[in-house]
Amino acid sequence: MNMDLSLERLLFNLNTLAELGEEITSPKDFNKVVKSSLYMVMGSFSASKGLIFQFDQDGRCFHPIASKGLGDINGVGIKISPEAVKELIKNNKPIDLKSNEHPVPLLGAARGEFEKLGSRIVAGLIVKDELLGLIAVGDKFTGEDYSVYDLQLLSVMAQHISFSLHSHSLLMKLMHKFTENKGLYDNLRRIYYDTIHAFAAAIDAKDAYTRGHSHRVSAYSAVLAREMGWDKDAMEGIRIAGLLHDIGKIAVDKTIINKASPLTTMECRELNSHPVVGYEILSKIKFPWKGIPMMTRNHHEKVDGSGYPDRLKRQEIPMGARIMALTDAFDAMTTDRPYRPRLSFREAIGEIKDNFGKQFDPEAVGPFINVIRKEVLGEVDSPTIVPLLQEQLDSITIHRMLDGFPEAII
């Protein structure tokens, strides 16, 4: 070969290799990358036909993922014996099917399959002693033979393509694992929520009057937390705390919970033990959200320090517990109890007003009033609190409920 021509060819091939590297690392979709890599290889040798196969671990078969000059290759799959695969990895060089250098066993029985597809040279796509696929190219348009130099060049190109195949197969494995793990996680999450809901139902079942109480406290608290700017994760935490806040009632005698007449001191003590009992139950559980046991323990505290069990004052009470103290009392007031019928919405708001800054935290009351107002005035896409109330509210009631509240919250 004349020197100028061979220099020109060397430069062309180096350029192709550089382009191939660039192509393989480009963020294009995998199929396009494989296809253009095949075209570049074929272009370098002026080959008439070409295929890139990927090894399918499950079927132990090589399937084409890109081809040119072969028409429809759907359904093509070449099985290579494990012994032949081992030989290919060990050899790790392109095989010229017309050369006598490599005896037939190198591709085993598959050799004839490649010949049927018009392949002349077959090279393994190997990374870390793993055969990921194959590249096969047909005869040159020019009728020339493949030189040793051509085979070396093809070997380098095959290495480039192997890396792309390797990254893709790693990505696929990762995605498969991710999908599998996500499925497991979703299942666990569903079981987790089902268990919590079952607990909430068990708590509410003890009290004929408070059916649905835990669900309403949960829903009201989550909406109020959102109004106060809590993030999604913290909102989820208070939603769960709302469902479980009365779990300690499981240890309280049913007759005490349902008693219509005033409780004796002993009965009162037993009933009032439920936040601590609940705390003891829940503090043994590792929740993915912070503060659930403490919110449960402190949901009967009052901001003036007259609540129970710890007689904490405003800032000492976790914010979640201050929210639940309000939503719990609001639901208790707006639903029938064994000892009294429910209060009207206006009366309940009147109670909150009277105990503003004493039992209830102004920091929670303001946003609570505000979110109810927004729900009634249709400023919220999917209202939560108003549909759960047992009376229809209108804008007049809403404007009236604000009477007497400090300026700051209106």
Binding residues for Fe ion, per CB under 5 A? 246
Q: How far apart are CA 394 and CA 373, in angstroms?
A: 9
Cβ density class 287-303: b for 16+ within 10 Å, e for less: bebebbbbbbbbbbbbb
Nearer to Fe ion, 34 or 326 (CB): 326
Minimum CB distance to Fe ion, residue 299 (Å): 6
Minimum CB distance to Fe ion, residue 265 (Å): 19
Minimum CB distance to Fe ion, residue 324 (Å): 9
Q: How far apart are CA 63 and CA 77, in angstroms?
A: 5
Minimum CB distance to Fe ion, residue 332 (Å): 9
Nearer to Fe ion, 139 or 246 (CB): 246
CA-based angle 368:316:364, to the nearest 5?
A: 5
Nearer to Fe ion, 246 or 301 (CB): 246
Identify whether the C-beta of residue 120 lies closer than 8 Å to the C-beta of residue 146.
yes
Minimum CB distance to Fe ion, residue 246 (Å): 5
Nearer to Fe ion, 113 or 301 (CB): 301
Q: How far apart are CA 236 and CA 30, in angstroms?
A: 39
Nearer to Fe ion, 246 or 331 (CB): 246
The residue count for the chain: 410
Minimum CB distance to Fe ion, residue 255 (Å): 17
Residues 6+ apart with CB under 8 A from 151: 93, 94, 96, 121
Nearer to Fe ion, 50 or 242 (CB): 242
Cβ density class 158-184: b for 16+ within 10 Å, e for less: bebbbebbbebbeeeeeeeeeeeeeee
Nearer to Fe ion, 96 or 246 (CB): 246
The DSSP line for 339-399 is TBPPPPHHHHHHHHHHTBTTTB-HHHHHHHHHHHHHHHTT-SSS-SHHHHSSS---HHHHH
Which residues on adjacent β-strands are paired with residue 134? 53, 124
Q: SS3 of 73, please?
A: coil
Residue 409: how many CB atoms within 10 A of its CB?
16
Nearer to Fe ion, 123 or 241 (CB): 241
Nearer to Fe ion, 87 or 204 (CB): 204
CA distances from 334 to 23, 129, 298, 371 (A): 68, 72, 21, 17
Query: Residue 359: what residue type?
Result: Q
State the sign of the Cα–Cα–Cα–Cα dihedral 166, 167, 168, 173.
positive
Minimum CB distance to Fe ion, residue 297 (Å): 11
Nearest to 289 by CA among 180, 183, 219, 189: 189
Nearest to 276 by CA among 257, 303, 252: 252
Minimum CB distance to Fe ion, residue 274 (Å): 6
Minimum CB distance to Fe ion, residue 254 (Å): 15
Minimum CB distance to Fe ion, residue 271 (Å): 9
Identify whether the C-beta of residue 313 lies closer than 8 Å to the C-beta of residue 339.
no
Minimum CB distance to Fe ion, residue 354 (Å): 20
Nearer to Fe ion, 94 or 307 (CB): 307
Nearest residue to Fe ion, using CB? 246
Nearer to Fe ion, 65 or 217 (CB): 217
